[in-house]
Amino acid sequence: MSESLITVTLKLFAAYQEAYGRSELVLQLPAQTSVATVLAQLIAEHPELQKWQNITRFGVNLQFVPPETLLQDGDELVMIPPVSGG
């Protein structure tokens, strides 16, 4: 029996956007994937993002959420590292 998959749109900002060279990714993930699992996947693909791991905030569908939040099919996930500028 195959594992159920969900589709999540990941919006990238600042260091995450620089690492991927894009502002958005569409991910196919196993059902019951947490926000923290997505972050771990991004860091595995781009180890330079490790330094942002403990200070990144997360949003799902325009609401701030903790990293243990489970994603649902169709969710929009946002990774928000600290940014500066004027």
- Distance (Å, rounded) from C-alpha 27 to C-alpha 71? 11
pLDDT in tens, 41-86: 999 999 999 999 999 999 999 999 999 999 999 999 999 987 765 5
C-alpha distances (whole Å) from 10 to each of 1, 61, 71, 75 are 27, 11, 11, 9
Task: For the chain, give every domain's residue range.
Answer: 5-80
Query: Residue 20: pLDDT above 90?
Result: yes
Q: What percent of the chain has pLDDT over 70?
A: 93
Predicted confidence at residue 1, as pLDDT, reads 45
CATH topology for the 5-80 domain: Ubiquitin-like (UB roll) (3.10.20)
**Reduced to 3 states, what is the DSSP secondary structure of residue 62?**
coil
| Strand (E) or helix (H) holding 42 | helix 35-45
CA 73, chain centre distance (Å): 14
Predicted confidence at residue 86, as pLDDT, reads 52
